[in-house]
A and B are shown apart, each in its own frame.
Chain A
Amino acid sequence: MHIPDGYLSPQTYVPLYGASFVFWAVALRKFKDESAVKHIPYLAMAAAFSFLIQMFNIPIPGGTTGHAVGAGIAALLLGPWTAVIAVSVALIIQALVFGDGGITAIGANCFNMAVIMPFTSYWVFKLIKGNSSSVKRLYAAGFFAGYIGLSLSAIVTAVEFGIQPMIAADIDGKPLYAPYPLSVAVPVMALEHLLLFGIIEGVVTAMLLKYFLKHEPDAVYALRGSSK
């Protein structure tokens, strides 16, 4: 899911930096009502948490293992706007220190994984949960929050790849950036995420939610009525 440098043309990565910037600005403004010194450690801890979730390899029923992107569970536990900042900071550190994702692609990666995914996961959870307090329904909401959040994020990433041959090709039609057209990029990314990675994300999200509901239900932001 982390887009490296070289795959997106400037006419794609510059607008995506702009789009992410808008969400960062709004997310930071959400904390303006609190004092700066109070929200800085909170957001830093949230970002460290978001980074470390990705380090856990979890055994999945059926024999496989995987790690979650974690933006879905971060949105459920911290709220979608906090997750925007937390996951973005984690992605920026991954790009700068670990070479995971490109520097020109930071805007795109943040837009896909720190904006699309937390908001989708959060609203899917709210939608499926409804007014029900049934535990099974909450687990199902957790699963689909992770599953749909990651799958949609992957499809948006695929569209960003797939439009490259259309918007950035030389005079002979040779693609200059990501070479796969929409007809290849979207089905490939969609299928692998709908059939495998999305399920892993869903299972991890539901599993963590289950633990929190059992031991610390007050810690789950998505079950509170706050607006941040």
Chain B
Amino acid sequence: MYLIDSGISRLGKVIKASYIQREIASGKGLFHGLDARVKVLFLIFFVVIVSLKKEIMPEAAITFFVLAIAVLSRLDILSLYRKVFFFGFVFGFLIALPAALNVVTKGEVILPVLRFSKAYDFGIYHVPATIGITAEGVSTVVMLTLRVINSVSLSFLVLYTTPFADIIRALKVFKVPDAVLMIITLTYKYIFIFAKTIEDMHLAKKSRTAGGINNKEAREWIAGRIAFMFKKSRQRCEDVFNAMIARGFSDTVAIYGFKKMDKRDAAAGCVLFSAGIIFLWV
């Protein structure tokens, strides 16, 4: 039952993430009031800039720039950066860490870790007599960690200041077809409905089970729930289709655009765009 519990707790986190996103995104900070199109363009522009920068200083400057916007937007900095640093640590630092060694990144060893009596060669692999951390390797690890931190913090900054439906609608500026945007919006909604259904099924089973269940039973139960979910999703698909027809949907799917941007949005867009150009240039 513990194994099933761990899966269900992941589903619980998904539901919680959606709830938190909706709550925080409806706040009243600096970034919350901006037009979603400005924020989505800002996100894409800056994520590309982050991927183009090749030196640590400009990357670090972007880190502080995003932090400043998050502070001005009155987001919960501790909670936001706990998540950002978790991603930075796991997907940036830990994955890149072996690249600090001279067996991966060539350069001058600044901190020897292991010494052998001589160098060894195994086919295409070369093991030097001294294995250690190089300055170039450290720079690579720091760079990758900062890139992950910056990209994740940019995503979360926009996510926590913009309702999800507005983010998807704003993708219209990239000429994404309305039908695709509707598929993403519907998917997002149904993920949470089905996640809740599975959580309820699990609680119902748990309350009826005395003692534990073995792995074979657990596998059968999970396979059964996934199959049930598949059946339910097909049934729900029919229901949604009938509901759409009943509400007068025609073959043309159209998502309404945004109102005209006001001066504040235009000014904010200009400031963010200029900041991006400066980061690109430095």
Using CB atoms and an 8 Å cutoff, list the residues of chain A in contact with chain B: 4-10, 13, 24, 28, 35-49, 51-53, 55-59, 61, 65, 67, 77, 85, 89-90, 92-93, 95-99, 102-104, 170, 172-177, 179-181, 183-184, 207-208, 210-212, 215-216, 219
Q: Tell me whether B244 is interfacial, beta carbon within 8 Å.
A: yes
Known: A42-B237, A93-B188, A96-B155. A35 touches B251 (CB 8 A): yes
Q: Which residues of A contact B218 (CB under 8 A)?
A: 58-59
Identify which of A41, A47, A51, A103 contacts B47 (C-beta below 8 A). A103
Q: Which residues of B contact A (CB under 8 A)?
A: 3-4, 6-7, 10-11, 14, 17-18, 21, 43-44, 47-48, 50-52, 54, 83, 87, 91-92, 96, 98-99, 104-107, 124-125, 136-137, 139-140, 143-144, 147-148, 150-152, 155-156, 159, 164, 167, 177, 179-180, 182-184, 186-188, 190-191, 194-195, 198, 215, 218-220, 222-227, 229-231, 233-234, 236-237, 240-241, 244-245, 249-253
- A46 contacts across to B, CB distance below 8 A: 233
Question: Which residues on B sit within 8 Å (CB–CB) of A174?
Answer: 105, 107, 136, 139-140
Given contacts A5-B147, A42-B237, contact A52 B191 (CB under 8 A): yes
Instruction: List, in ascending order, chain B residues with CB within 8 A of A10's CB.
Output: 48, 51-52
Could you list 15 further interchain pairs (A-B, Cβ under 8 angstroms) beyond the known A57-B4, A215-B227, A219-B230? A4-B152, A10-B48, A37-B244, A38-B241, A40-B186, A45-B233, A52-B191, A58-B218, A59-B219, A93-B188, A99-B155, A176-B143, A207-B223, A208-B223, A211-B220
Contacts of B155 in A (CB 8 A): 95-96, 99, 103
Q: Of A41, A65, A97, A208, which contacts B17 at CB under 8 A?
A: A97
Q: Do B144 and A6 have beta carbons less than 8 Å apart?
A: yes
Which residues from B are CB-within-8-Å of A219?
227, 230-231, 234
Q: Which of A51, A59, A212 has the most CB of B within 10 A?
A: A59
Main secondary structure, interface of A, reads helix
Query: B215 to A61, Cβ gap below 8 A?
Result: yes
Q: CA A102 – CA B43 in complex, angstroms?
A: 12
Residues of chain B contacted by A77 (CB below 8 angstroms): 230
Give A161 Cβ to nearest chain B Cβ, in Å.
10
Main secondary structure of the interface of B (DSSP, over half): helix
* Complex CA–CA separation, A164 to B189 (angstroms): 37
B183 in contact with A7 (CB, 8 Å) = no
Q: Which residues of A contact B10 (CB under 8 A)?
A: 55, 57
Contacts known (A52-B191, A57-B10, A174-B107); A41 close to B50, Cβ less than 8 A: no
Q: Determine how close the nearest CB of chain B comes to the CB of A173; give it in whole angstroms.
A: 7
